[in-house]
Amino acid sequence: MTELKIDQVARTFPARQGHAPTRALEPIDLNVRNNDFVTILGPSGCGKSTLLRIVAGLDRPTSGRVILDGQEVTGPGADRGMVFQSYTLFPWLSVRENIAFGLRERGVSEADRGKIADGFIDRVGLSGFENHWPKQLSGGMQQRTAIARALANDPKILLLDEPFGALDNQTRVLMQEMLLGIWERDQKTVLFVTHDIEEAIFLGSRVIVMSARPGRIKAEIAVDLPHPRSYKIKTTPEFVSLKERLVEEIRAEALKVAVHA
C-alpha cells in the first residue's frame, strides 16, 4: 500500500548577489494515498515543480520531510518514476533501449528486459517504432517513451512535471487519455503537476490548488467524476462546474502575481 506523506515541507532558495532569499514554498502538508491520482495546479512560479522535485529527491527541503511508505526521502530512488516536460531520452539509445535502461541498471536479464519493454511499447502505442532513435520521433512519441520508461521500473509512485506542456492541443488530449487509461488499468499512485485546469480535472481524483509564491496549498478539491473517462466528459455540467470553480481559484492567484510583477 503506497502512501506518500509531505510533512511541513518548505523551501527557501539562498540569496544571490543583489537579491534577497526566495521563499518558494511555505510549509506544506499533503498525503497521497495508494492508487490516488493527485493533480497539482497553480500559477506560474508558485513552487509546484519545486515540490515535485523534492518528492523525487532531486532537491532538498529547507525544512520538513517527505516520507514514502515509512521511509524518508533523501535522494532519487527507483521507487519514484519521474517524467519531465522536456524530452529527457538518451539520444544514443533506441526506443526499446530507453525503456529498458532502468531495468538494465538494476541487473534485469536481457530476455526479461526485452519482454517488459515490448509490453510497454505496445501499451503506449509505439509498436513499429521500437528501433527508432529519439530524434526520429515526434514530441508525443518521445513522451510516450519517457512514460513507458518510468513505468517499466514499476515505481511505487509516478511523478509527472507538466509532461504534455510542450505538445500541440490534439496530441496533448490523446496523451491525457493514454495516461488515464494506464492508470485506470494499473491503479498506479500518481502525482501530476500542471498549469492546465481542464487537464487537472480530467486526470485527477483530487486537485490541489497552490497559491502564488510563496506556494502553499490554497484548496483541495475532490473530482467525483466516473471512470472510465473519455474526452466527452469535459462537456458535462459536473466538469464545467468544477472548471468554473478552479478558474476563479487560479485567477485570484494569477492576479496576485500580476500585481507584484
pLDDT score for 16 = 81
**Contacts with 236 (C-beta within 8 Å, 6 or more apart), sequence order:** 225
Percentage, residues of the chain above pLDDT 70: 98
166 and 222 both lie in a single domain: yes
Which domain-ending residue is among 107, 125, 154? Answer: 154
C-alpha cell at 3: 502512501
Q: Is the dihedral of CA 179, 181, 182, 188 positive or negative?
A: positive
H helix count then E strand count, the chain: 7, 10
71 and 115 both lie in a single domain: no
CB atoms within 10 A of CB 108: 17
73 and 168 both lie in a single domain: yes
Angle between helices 139-152 and 169-186 (to 10 degrees): 20
In whole angstroms, give the CA distance from residue 170 to residue 179: 15
Quick: pLDDT tens for 123-164: 999 999 999 999 999 999 999 999 999 999 999 999 999 999
58 and 167 both lie in a single domain: yes
**Contacts with 107 (C-beta within 8 Å, 6 or more apart), sequence order:** none
Confidence check: pLDDT of 66 > 60: yes
97 and 169 both lie in a single domain: no
Which domain-ending residue is among 154, 171, 196? Answer: 154
101 and 162 both lie in a single domain: no
**Contacts with 120 (C-beta within 8 Å, 6 or more apart), sequence order:** 99, 148, 151, 152
Residue 27 lies in a domain: yes
72 and 194 both lie in a single domain: yes
Residue 192 lies in a domain: yes
CB 158 within 8 A of CB 81: yes
Q: Tell me if residue 2 falls in helix, strand or coil.
A: coil
In whole angstroms, give the CA distance from residue 234 to residue 230: 8
* DSSP state at residue 215: B
Structural domain including 46 reads 4-79+157-260
Which domain-ending residue is among 133, 154, 175? Answer: 154
Confidence check: pLDDT of 225 > 90: yes
124 and 216 both lie in a single domain: no
Mean pLDDT of 211-223: 93
185 and 234 both lie in a single domain: yes
Residue 125 lies in a domain: yes
Residue 84 lies in a domain: no
Ranking 4-8, 15-19, 96-100, 163-167 by mean pLDDT, the lowest is 15-19
pLDDT score for 261 = 54
Label residue 80 exposed, middle or buried (CB < 10 Å: 0-12, 13-18, 19+): buried
130 and 171 both lie in a single domain: no
**Contacts with 190 (C-beta within 8 Å, 6 or more apart), sequence order:** 36, 37, 38, 157, 158, 159, 160, 183, 203
114 and 233 both lie in a single domain: no
Provide the domain count of the chain.
Answer: 2
Residue 18 lies in a domain: yes
In whole angstroms, give the CA distance from residue 189 to residue 204: 11
Residue 165 lies in a domain: yes
CB 163 within 8 A of CB 75: no
Domain with residue 181: its CATH number is: 3.40.50.300
Quick: pLDDT tens for 242-257: 999 999 998 888 777 6
97 and 8 both lie in a single domain: no
